Amino acid sequence: MPLVSMRQLLDEAAKGGYGVGAFNVNDMEQIQAIMMAAKETKSPVIVQASRGARQFAEDLYLFRLIEAAAELNPEIPIAMHQDHGNSFETCKSAIELGFTSVMMDGSLKSDGKTPSTFEENVEVTRKVVDFAHERGVTVEGEIGVLGGVEDGHGAGGSGLDHITDPDQAVEFAERTGVDALAIAIGTSHGAYKFTKKPDGSVLKMDILIAIHKRLPKTHLVMHGSSSVPKDLQDIVNKYGGKLKETWGVPVEEIQLGIRNGVRKINVDTDNRLAITGAIRKVLWETPEKFDPRDYLKPAREAMKAVVALRMTQFGQAGHAGDYKPVSIEEIAKGYKDGSLSTRPLVASK
């Protein structure tokens, strides 16, 4: 199957009332782990690469691996997404490479660290939307600022520093026409999200629900959504790691989000923990081993198990065969004739 527009994948998820995990990749084993999980659970999937990942793997290696994943798994709809594009140029280069979706994170300036103004965010995001939609490519924007830092990108601090204002979210969606919108409701990137198990009073689910009511056609995105399970932390620490005690986003909160318009859920840290724990275990227990396959194979298996579990929990499992891919050219026509517009024509409070 050719790579699919992320918009189609999310529209289908909205129809089916489920969420789709967006899993970060840097290398072949991670892509294989995701595809093994997608095949096993019959899930459509979003594979995403940050700027750091594109640099690490080199664009062409990375993209050819994704093409191989699509060719080897013709029954799985795959969208290839740029995670946290910091500028128009980053998004343009991803589109030119063949990505079917980009995130323009205009919540930060192009240094990827300093919060930008609302007007700056609108301006750069709208420019990306114009360029991308003409080519049938999906755009995710961000309003409010997430906490933490990932791959050198992020404002740092707590996820509660810059919570999304629903009025601004509506104005942003109207003025940019984004397909999907990342909102800040208290999550942050990385392993250290919360110092105790967060309950409903920590994550601002009421804000998410209010935004979905006013933007029913814009797919909401939850970033920083690793659950940082204790069993994965324990494996890392048992075999020589030094992780401090920490809590992630409970899966029940993500499922509440999915019932209220969340269609894309970003997960990276849980997979990093699974991979690191598996590698540490092999090297700790059998220090005489030096063939990378001896630890990369269990690492790939460990990541596959996490991804398959999330696919089931998010509800995307079993939906890979629900629909046929619409070509990117058809999607571009839908943007042009307005049939794919997400703009909130009647934004009732």
Catalytic positions: 83
Q: Which member of 8, 269, 313, 316 binds ligand 13P (CB under 6 A)?
A: 269
Applying the rule CB under 6 A, the residues between 190 and 219 that interact with ligand 13P are 190
Q: Is 81 in the site for ligand 13P (CB under 6 A)?
A: no
> Which residues lie closer than 8 Å to 116 by C-beta, 6 or more apart?
106, 107, 108, 109, 124
Q: Which member of 189, 219, 263, 310 binds ligand 13P (CB under 6 A)?
A: 189
Applying the rule CB under 6 A, the residues between 272 and 331 that interact with ligand 13P are none
189 or 304: whose CB is closer to ligand 13P?
189
> Which residues lie closer than 8 Å to 244 by C-beta, 6 or more apart?
192
Between CA 120 and CA 188 the distance in angstroms is: 22
Q: Is 33 in the site for ligand 13P (CB under 6 A)?
A: no
Q: Is 107 in the site for ligand 13P (CB under 6 A)?
A: no
> Which residues lie closer than 8 Å to 29 by C-beta, 6 or more apart?
275, 296, 299, 300, 303
Q: Is 136 in the site for ligand 13P (CB under 6 A)?
A: no
Q: Is 83 in the site for ligand 13P (CB under 6 A)?
A: yes
Q: Which member of 198, 224, 261, 315 binds ligand 13P (CB under 6 A)?
A: 224
What are phi and psi for residue 17, nearest 5 degrees? 70, 30
DSSP, residue by residue, 2-58:
----HHHHHHHHHHHT--EEEEE-SSHHHHHHHHHHHHHHT--EEEEE-HHHHHHH-
Region binding ligand 13P by CB under 6 A among candidate stretches 70-78, 87-95, 118-126, 266-274: 266-274
Q: Is 177 in the site for ligand 13P (CB under 6 A)?
A: no
The answer to whether residues 159 and 243 touch, using CB atoms and an 8 Å cutoff, is no
Both tokens assigned to 84 = 């946290």
Q: Is 150 in the site for ligand 13P (CB under 6 A)?
A: yes
Binding site for ligand 13P (CB under 6 A): 24, 83-84, 150, 189-190, 223-226, 266-269
